[in-house]
């Protein structure tokens, strides 16, 4: 059992010490019992994505993905939903965008909370000073350094917006 499997997670008002993959597998039954078709679809989609990730990394589908890998997969699924929402709204397909928003809300319950704009700005200012970045030509380097430091704690679009504000 890897270190990442023993991560304490606060879900709702209950503490769960179960690996994320197992926890999501158990959600299938509760979604079925609640007759929540959207949640059931999203949970099954996550399990399928976990299996695909395991196979892609040379493991068997029966293996369990660790929490870090599970979060990476869930984040990818959430980003796909965000892209779909944007495209559906541009195309005037608001009913499909609403469906994607409902799925995104379920996915985001499993992701850690992202940093606020102000928190990102504090770190960006400190990193800008540490790297000695003075002009916009090094903005990409600054953005990369901030993203590496935050390692999934902030959305890339938010970090880019903060860096753009600095110049």
pLDDT in tens, 80-128: 999 999 999 999 999 999 999 999 999 999 988 888 889 999 999 999 8
pLDDT in tens, 62-85: 999 998 899 999 999 999 999 999
User: What are the structural domains, with CATH classification, of the chain?
Assistant: 3-108 (1.10.1510.10), 117-166 (1.10.10)
Rounded alpha-carbon distances, angstroms, from residue 30 to 115, 149, 158: 30, 37, 34
pLDDT in tens, 124-163: 999 988 888 888 888 888 888 898 888 778 888 888 899 8
Query: What's 95-159 look like in SS3?
Result: HHHHHHHHHHHHHHCCCCCCCCHHHHHHHHHHHHHHHCCCCHHHHHHHHHHHHHHHCCCCCHHHH
Give 2 or 21, the one with higher predicted confidence.
21
**Alpha-carbon Rg of the chain, whole angstroms?**
19
Global model pTM greater than 0.85:
no
């Amino acid at each position: 059992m890897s270190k990442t499997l023993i991560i304490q997670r606060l879900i709702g008002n209950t503490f769960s010490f179960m690996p994320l993959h197992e926890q999501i597998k158990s959600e299938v039954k509760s979604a079925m019992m609640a007759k929540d078709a959207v949640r059931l679809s999203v949970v099954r989609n996550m399990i399928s994505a976990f299996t695909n990730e395991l196979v892609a990394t040379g493991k068997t589908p029966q293996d369990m993905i660790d929490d870090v890998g599970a979060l990476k997969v869930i984040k990818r699924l959430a980003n796909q939903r965000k892209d779909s929402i944007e495209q559906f709204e541009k195309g005037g397909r608001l009913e499909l965008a609403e469906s994607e928003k409902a799925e995104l809300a379920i996915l985001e319950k499993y992701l850690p909370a992202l940093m606020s704009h102000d928190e990102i700005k504090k770190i960006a200012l400190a990193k800008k000073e540490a790297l000695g970045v003075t002009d916009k030509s090094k903005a990409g380097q600054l953005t990369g350094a901030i993203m590496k430091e935050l390692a999934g704690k902030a959305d890339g679009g938010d970090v880019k917006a903060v860096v753009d504000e600095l110049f």
